[in-house]
Amino acid sequence: MQFCYCAIVKALDKGVEAASNMPIMTHQTDIITLPHGRPGTARRLAIHHFGTGQGPKAYIQAGLHAGELPGMVVAWHLLDHLIRLDGEGRIKGQVVLVPMANPIGLDQVLLGGHVGRFDLASGVNFNRAFADLGDRVADCLHPGDLGCDADTNRRVIQRALASAAASLQPRTEVDALRKLLLTHAIDADHVLDLHCDSEAVMHLYTTPACWPLGVADLAARLDAKAVFLADQSGGEPFDEVCSTPWDRLRARHGGPDMPIPVGCSAVTVELRGEADVADGLAAADAAALVDHLCWRGIIDAPVPVMPDRADLATPLAGVDRVRAPVGGVALYHVDLGTRVRAGDHVATILDPASGDRHACHATADGLVWSRTQSRYAGPNDILLCIAGREVLVTSGPLLTA
């Protein structure tokens, strides 16, 4: 048998050339055990990384409120997309994805009911009490750290924020979880925190500074019906501790000769209501998130231009929270997505013992965007919410418990 050496060399060269043209897979998964748990117990968090560490970074998490399941289903659909896109070499930036961000809350079942919103050990909402690093970083900046180039200043501040997050000293398991999530998100250019409401249409929360930086594109792709803006909503929720430090740094150090950009566009995405758990909805939402990442330049793929939805944004302080005047059974007279006017009869509370009926009226014009799933209300419980344009709340926290 005779061999053609030249043919073999050419074949090998072609194989090397083909291999060199194949995209390098970047997907890595970290499985991290939370510290500070009780003896004999352990909870773990899976964090997926895509990209080579270059380009803009997006951080996406789901299930911080562990009883809110739609986001976790969306995240796993999104993971499938990212693995495919990574194999095609299309991830040009960085993506960090945490599909189940709260193993503590996932493990909390009391008398057959899942309690995923509050830490049973402390009573604190899992999406509150995150470390606000803005003042700490502002105090650590020295003359000469920042200059006249906004992009350079962005990178300096991102490194300072990351260092500040890494230096946190948690003492409990839930604080260790907060530190871990914040450490992976604080230096991101874009943060998406996936949640859902009790019963609701698709809606978003962000800050006035973040809103002009592409949040309208996200809202359009998700077909959001409302976007709520607040500089600070109260309680240090996850999205705000990622974005608002930049506002305070800009106020303290920024100026014409020292520009500080809005370094992190952070958004809470409310994926409708708790019962809206379906593969079809989740697949469509995940595809919309991929398209938004393409629009951001993090993924290399063409996407259609979306219509301008600037009209969606209303102040969070303008939300009309219609409350029960007495306890009883809630009877709703308006559906989600209905536009109402101030004075409209939107709900009735029926006292099943006496038969008395108590009318509940809207106090603002706007869109009914959420309702409480439980139809048994206590006095002063929130029944439904209306997206109004006029400020109604001038002090105190703007978010509910």
3-class secondary structure, 299: strand
Give percent of the chain with pLDDT exceeding 70. 95
> In which region does residue 314 sit, left (phi positive, over 0), alpha (psi from -120 to 50) or beta (all else)?
beta
3-class secondary structure, 345: strand
Please name the amino acid found at residue 106: L
Question: What's the whole-number mean pLDDT along residues 95-108?
Answer: 98
Taking every pair of C-alpha atoms in the chain, what is the biggest distance, in angstroms? 102
CATH architecture of 28-308: 3-Layer(aba) Sandwich (3.40)
pLDDT tens, position by position, 146-193: 999 999 999 999 999 999 999 999 999 999 999 999 999 999 999 999
Cα separation of 230 and 209, whole Å? 9
DSSP secondary structure, 46-68, as one string:
EEEEES-S-S-EEEEEE-SSTT-
Distance of CA 155 to the CA centre of its chain: 22
- Tracing tokens 């009914």 back to the chain, one arrives at 368
Which ranges in the chain are annotated with CATH 3.40.630.10? 28-308
Which ranges in the chain are annotated with CATH 2.40.50.100? 316-387
pLDDT tens, position by position, 148-161: 999 999 999 999 99
- Pull the structure tokens for residue 54: 């270059």
Cα dihedral 11, 12, 14, 19 sign: positive
CB 62 within 8 A of CB 53: no
CB 227 within 8 A of CB 212: no
pTM score, two decimals? 0.94
Q: Which DSSP state fits 203?
A: E
Cα separation of 254 and 248, whole Å? 9
Cα separation of 159 and 13, whole Å? 43
pLDDT band at 92 (very low <50, low <70, confident <90, very high): very high
Cα separation of 60 and 285, whole Å? 13
What pLDDT was estimated at residue 157? 97
Cα separation of 57 and 159, whole Å? 13
Question: What's the whole-number mean pLDDT along residues 51-78?
Answer: 97
Mean pLDDT of all residues belonging to the chain: 94
Fold for the domain defined by 316-387: OB fold (Dihydrolipoamide Acetyltransferase, E2P) (2.40.50)
What pLDDT was estimated at residue 22? 74
pLDDT band at 53 (very low <50, low <70, confident <90, very high): confident
Q: Show Cβ contacts of residue 250 under 8 Å, excluding neighbours closer than 6 positions.
A: 260
Model confidence at 13: pLDDT above 80: no
pLDDT tens, position by position, 112-133: 999 999 999 999 999 999 999 9
What pLDDT was estimated at residue 10? 55
pLDDT tens, position by position, 299-337: 999 999 999 888 999 999 999 999 999 999 999 999 999
pLDDT band at 3 (very low <50, low <70, confident <90, very high): very low
